[in-house]
Amino acid sequence: MTLIIDDAGSGDLLFGVVIGAYREETDQFTYDVIDISYYQELFCDKEYLNEASRIVQKLIKKLKIKPREKIQVCQGGIFDTAVADLKEKYGEDLITKIRVIGEPQRLIEESYLDEIRNLGYEPLEDRETKRAKSFFHMMRWIKTDPKRLKFAKTGWPRLKRYNLFSQINNNEPYSKTICSKCGKTCEVPFKPDGNRPVFCSDCWRNNNLRKKSKSNLQAKFL
């Protein structure tokens, strides 16, 4: 058995970072998100590294790691603390850093795209091969409505060269509403129109995971 850990969104201007865990043999997949706040006021403290480690541990627990199961982690620097913590907990011989490709990469990338689409943003096609264009496409989307700045990784030092990120306050709250599934009060990144269900982040994420699991099962029987 092998668990594969990867991320999506680390180099993108919008939203936080999706971290996913995938068990190759059983096609199990789950994910969680490093909140955007870790890339805003908390960015300089690099607290996102500790948060990444916490989420990795949470996902591994959720998938119920097997005795002596191997864990392969993406080579990205975002997992430096996570890898150190995993080696300490499970042993160095079970933890390796790899370049993630194939199904786990696809699922985690799709999860990130689902999250940014939930903001109302439609990503560029082939954005992986058009990183610079994707960055400016996201920035133009923010500029059309400066309130969207709260969705951006404003803690990046390189953004200071752009007036958009140095002059506008990004602390305006999301819209408060009631989750259509669990009934809890939550905040969403848009104004509810009353015509469609609204979900809190946990219910939205769980719903996406169910859709992905169903899609994977259907694909196996085609």
Domain that holds residue 188: 173-222
Q: Is 203 contained in some domain?
A: yes
Q: Does residue 196 sit within a domain?
A: yes
* Tokens linked to 4: 């594969």
Q: How many domains does the chain have?
A: 2
The answer on pLDDT for 49 being more than 70 is yes
- pLDDT number for residue 211: 63
pLDDT value, residue 219? 53
Domain ends where: 111, 143, 165? 111
CA gap 152, 192 in Å, rounded: 21
Residues 106 and 8 in one domain: yes
Whole-number percent of the chain with pLDDT over 70 = 88
Query: What pLDDT, on the 0 to 100 scale, is given for residue 218?
Result: 54
Averaged pLDDT for residues 78-107: 96
pLDDT for the residue 168: 45
Domain end position, chosen among 111, 131, 164: 111
Q: Which of 28-37, 94-103, 109-118, 168-177 has the lowest mean pLDDT?
A: 168-177
Among the ranges given (77-81, 112-116, 164-168), the one the predictor scored with the smallest mean pLDDT: 164-168
CATH (domain of 27): 3.30.420.230
Q: How many CB atoms lie within 10 A of CB 71?
A: 22
How does pLDDT run across 124-153, given as a tens digit for each residue? 988 878 888 999 999 999 999 988 999 999
Contacts of 158 (CB under 8 A, 6+ apart): none
Computed over every residue of the chain, the mean pLDDT equals 87
For residue 208, tell me if it sits in a domain. Answer: yes
Residue 171 pLDDT grade (very low, low, confident, very high; cuts 50, 70, 90): very low
Three-class SS state of 183: coil
The average pLDDT across 198-202 equals 82
pLDDT at 43 over 90: no
Which CB contacts under 8 angstroms, 24+ apart, belong to 94-101?
94/68, 94/69, 94/70, 95/70, 95/71, 96/70, 96/71, 96/72, 97/72, 97/73, 98/4, 98/72, 98/73, 98/74, 99/74, 99/75, 100/4, 100/5, 100/6, 100/72, 100/74
| 157 is a domain residue | no
What distance in Å separates the CA atoms of residue 147 and residue 13, rounded to the nearest whole number? 15
Q: Is residue 142 part of a domain?
A: no
Which range has the worst mean pLDDT, 43-57, 136-150, 172-186? 172-186
pTM: 0.74
Is 11 domain-assigned?
yes
Q: How confident is the model at residue 71 (pLDDT cuts 50, 70, 90)?
A: very high
Residue that finishes a domain, picked among 74, 92, 111: 111
